[in-house]
Amino acid sequence: MAWVAGVTAGFAILGYAVRGVNRSGAIAGAAVCLALFGAAGPGAFAALLAVFVITWIATRVGRARKVRLGTAERGEGRRASQVLANLGVAAGCAALYALRGEALWLVAMAAAMAEAAADTVSSELGQAFSRRALLITSLETVPPGTDGGISIRGTASGVLAAGLVGAVCAAAGLIPQRLAAVAAVAGVAGMLVDSLLGACFERSRQMSNDAVNFAGTITAAVLGALVAGWRG
């Protein structure tokens, strides 16, 4: 277990060093990393690292434009609440796998991580490259970065991110190759639910961004588990 703790500490330090997370976020990230690695093994860490790298790059792309729009992520990185909102469900699924030994929880975990990547990438790259967005509920034109706003480029980027995470999970032996697409599609579905909740509740401040993100990952995990259980 000493080497697992070492990898966990190294991951937290890396995240803080590149300003992917602030101090509280680094602590939360370490807890998530330890839970994933300890419960589901190196493959789960590989998936977590993929999510981190993909989302970190996405937040840096087009940063100057996002600063002008006022939508850029804060320079010191994500807080603990943001880390847990995006990855807490995946850690919970890993714990359930460790307790119950049912492979469907690994698919649920992969789906939750795919959603976390898809949601962040779609938002960040949509703001970086799209001049307008459409509100998911009414299709009215809104500025990029609006809660519940979607764009073709952003959505396509999110789909690609979910696919990459699903592929990493399969390549790392975390889930069967035949279920990589299930995790990715569940992640995309969670991303769309995130946008729907953003339009319906986050814009009116009835839900926080963290609550919306948490709901998106739960949606992805539930869908992934249901399909994996059905397919056996």
Nearest of 185, 219, 171, 229 to residue 44 by alpha carbon:
171
pLDDT digits (tens), the chain, 232 positions: 667 778 788 888 888 888 889 999 999 999 999 999 999 999 999 999 999 999 999 998 887 777 776 666 666 678 999 999 999 999 999 999 999 999 999 999 999 999 999 999 999 999 988 888 999 999 999 988 899 999 999 999 999 999 999 999 999 999 999 999 999 999 999 999 999 999 999 999 999 999 999 999 999 999 999 999 887 6
- Predicted TM-score (pTM) of the model is 0.94
Would residue 51 be called left, alpha or beta, if left means φ above 0 and alpha means ψ between -120 and 50 degrees? Answer: alpha
Q: How far apart are CA 184 and CA 78, in angstroms?
A: 24
Q: Return the DSSP state at 142.
A: E
pLDDT of residue 69: 67
